[in-house]
Structure 1
Amino acid sequence: MAFSDMEGHWSKPVVTRAATLDFIKGYPDNSFQPEKEISQMEALVLFMRAVGLGNEKTTAKTSKKEAPRPLKAPEVPWGQNYMDTAVKNELLDDKWISSFQADRPATRLQVVSLLCRLLQLPLPDSVSSGQNAFSDLDNTSSEYIPYIIALSQAGIMKGYEDGTFKPERSLKRSEAAALLSSLMEQNWVKTDASRILEGWVEKIIVDKNKSEIELRSLSGVKKVKVDPGLQCFAGAGECQLRDTLDYRAEVLLNQKKQAACISIIEKRKFIAVEDKITGTVKSVLIGLDSVLVLRDLNCEERRLPLSWGALIDSEGKAKAKDFTSLKPGTFVTAQLAEGQVQKVTVLETKTISGTIQDLSGRRLTLAKKGSSSQIGKPEWFNYWDRARMVDKDGRAIGGVSRGDAIKVTYLDPNPGEIDDEIPLEIMLSSRPALKKVKAEVEKLTILDNYYKLTVKKNKVYEVDKTVQVYSSNGGEIQFNSLNAGDKVEMEVDGAGVVMKIILL
């Protein structure tokens, strides 16, 4: 890749990129000759190959015009299959076909026409003075001006600093390489995706026998061997391999899948955390604009942009190698700075199921089961009302009540210690209806904190302090108005607590 005549030339980065991916080649004397004009045939083959056209197995879409094209493909000294495909699929206009000279230099206008047809860019219906930003197109045929504007607006081919386009100027080999680079950046080029990597250089290992880099991205860490002739670039200038550390970079691989060209993009920044959001993963979208979609503890969906340098961290048994391995439903905490996720911590959660025995203040107490499976698990949760509350289908609910069967997902920061569990989600499994029980009162117990009612056969019920008590004629009375021997009908909730009493 290190051509002998590229030192100090402005096009060295783009030439190296194109050469690494086998789009362009040098000469037998190891030169590239960047100032040499590219011939018409070379331009045709170069850009057709770049988008994957020209061989017998791959052809472009044929024109929908019914009438056959009157012009035949001219005979060329080499690359006849490319020429035949180009004419058949109308990649060359009639004027160029009639005057085609394989070894003559290709003009910028000819290349513009070719690229617009190859990429099937939409042409403007009319050309206004505002669209035509170039000052030297007065003598250019009006049929070609839309092609110039379309390619310019697509950001593929630009004019010169003096505001001209110079349509009749010959295209140099260096300029052709720059065009290829633009096509690569906009994903017009057909190449092996496994040979174009992007991430930040996390580690560099230099050895006498081999060198290697570790490239981290949102998809994980990839170890890449380094070609001995590796070239590194920072903008238009060159740099050393060591200068790429902690930089986001494009890494191009040669045919041996070794890093042959590295172009650094930006330095990785360490930013103070400004916000934290805890929730469950809904989806992860990795691409040009990567996004982490979370459902937070308020059951609201949050679309959070992922920083290109975002890290993923796992706690204990909760493992995730990269963002693509994050499974929906996983509890995580996302740390944000400057509006982007900088780090995601996968939380190690635990679960417990049971029936709500009491909801006193900000403490939720579960009914004791005595099961061996419950040993070592919490009997209550403080600040339970901060947790997300959902039904079995994951839909948000207003809250939970005593007697509800629930499943609690929680954090246990210090296993073995009591009262430090943090509830994240309370899922309502079932809510039993009030049960009607007929009995005969034996004794009332009234204390500051609770009421109790003992009925015949010495069965004791806890009574809610807001209990509603009604006489036989329907009037409301006080709980302490009940007497031993009274026959009553009680409505009991799922936790066995009396909520309503009617004298019979």
Structure 2
Amino acid sequence: MIKKYITAGISAAFAVSVIMTPLSAGAAVTPGKTYNDTTGHWALQVVEKASAIGLMSGYPGGYFKPEGQMSRLEAISVIIRAMGLEDQALQTKAQGSGITMPPGMTWGEGYLVLAAQKGLLSKEYVPSLKYRDAITRAEVATLVAVALNIKGDPAKLTYSDNNSILELYKPYVAAVTEKNIMTGLGGNQFGPNQVMKRGQMAALMAKLAQDGWFKFGADRLIGGTVVSFDAATGLLVFKKADGTVLQKTLSEKPALFKNSSAATLEDIKYGTPIVVALKGSEAIQYLEVSSAAPPATSPVFDTTVTGRVTSTPGAAGTSITIADGKNSGKNYTLAPNLVVKDSTDTSSLSAVTAGKYITAQINSSQVSYIQILPTVSNQGTVQTISSGSLKISTGSGSYTYTLKSGETIVSGAAPKTGDTVKVISYQGKALEIIINSSAARVEGVITELDTDSSPGITLEDEDGGEKTFDITDDTAMTRDGDDIDLEDIMIGAEARIRYIAKEAIEIEITEDENITVEGEVVKVDESNERITIEQDSGNQFRLDVDRNCSYRNSANSTSVSDLGDIRKGWTVEITLDDSEATRIKVVDDDGNSDDEVEGTVTNLKLGSSTKITVKVNGSTKTYKITDDTDITKDGDDIDEDEIMIGAEVRIELDDDEATEIEVTNDTDDITVEGTIYSIDENNDRITIKQSNGAKFRLDVDRKCSFKDTVDTKNKLDELDDLETGWEVKLTLEDGEITTLKVTDK
């Protein structure tokens, strides 16, 4: 079922730092569990963790069925999800993909298409896949290892049931064993043919996420130390290892664990190490508490004042000025025995500087205790405001804050809907609101976009004037009401920008479907009628090409009549109509390769000095393959060891170096040679090993003709008559072997 994964690896995990909206007033937090059938089950905690991060889900009625069997399709969908391809799978259809689905499918065709395109499944095998059948441990091990692009040494396997593991699966079972991803069962057995249960799959996926193997899942598990926790509202403030302070909210019924057992809200104490699971922008559904003893708990204030320090205090015995919602600045005397703490532990008075936000305990008109507050600052547009709450929209989402009379500082006039404001908060409470009433607005076309460490954007207005603005972490970026990132912005799009001085407060993309854009061609996908360009900003965009698209080459007289004539490295101007390219004009072809050849692969040397030899017009030529060589088949990236000797290829060249190799045919009316490596009579397949060591599994046509050219008296009628180690010459039609000749024994 599985063949070698064709991509280089999994992207690095991305960071999450979204502030959650607190529970509505009066909402109670009560620890619980998600499913009705996991009470007392060994997999309760891993099921909750895998569900909380979105890797697995249950069934209607609140059931997970931890003892239920995992089907092949379910397992494939979970792996595809873990690879971060869920959205793509949901949008992918089998029609037009060139991949035939098994009969009777009611869901999941996008997962199978992607699994085949990404190399987890053989494309030829998909139509006969028994997707409803339970998947085995060996098959799961292979799927995971292929997805992670890892292989192990089968010789190092020491399981007592090694002989039960198919040879095809052994490198992958060895890989997950060596990496401690999967372990054996009791009695030193791996149990390759045992069915994978849903609880076991949850345990595996939770471990893969916890250990950071997949980008999806690892980014949703965040560890840190509790700074403060309000059990009444579920608001949790914790500090990550890198010092970043986050505010998140527990769901109304979170799953809490400590030492693999159920935990209580009382276990979430100041200084306690924790791991939380975040699912998108939702509240925390899963939290595990370390058994390590926490330091001294947070102090409880009796008579307190919370506000901003307006002047840096001197030594104990002098005074400190604090601004709050009642006073723009009030002086308090510092007690001789003053204690100062920050979010981690005891600090010193030198840390209490102007601009810091604090809670001070006042006893007999003297400040005896100061808690420095770990605040969070967000800038955005006021969506709603009432006497007790404020909701703003920013570049990273919507945030709701509690307003407290006498405590929240308002700088400027009272905020109103539509105002641009900056909110400094602690535990979901707005400590200060700064009104940016001077924000101006401009509309136009984006002509430049800087995405480096100091990002910026340049807009040309309708009068031809250009204005450049700085982009900060607080800049809100939206399209059609949805939040977007900087890499989603296309040069050539129309935008509306709200700004103060040179700082962009809000960037709204108003049109990017019916525009003209320019960029360098990165990839041409004729099969799917797509072109990928990279703009000066470094952002890449994959664009669908209309079947009636017109082409023009303004760089020289070379004819360009269809998508296949466009080359990587060319600069093109593309006119979009409803997001599809309807006109492509080549404006610069200096990036074009020096030469191009088409022919049949006669040799492929693999290793540290990879070379490909191609027969072109009766003569052979050899070219170097480097790490920068782009190798594709059917529009997908592949590795060099997936090029079959005997396949037809198109190669773009720079001197004697192949810059791009496209496998144009390795299935139809070609002849390949190799040594029989394995024979699968049940599924009418053989695996051959070619002269360079690369292996290929091929389906055998039921009407295939067999011939022994070594011993002409030996009659060959079927696969059962073949033996491993024989050298064969094969003729392929539509990807299947139609003629097999034994050339050496």
TM-score (norm 2): 0.34
Higher helix share: 1
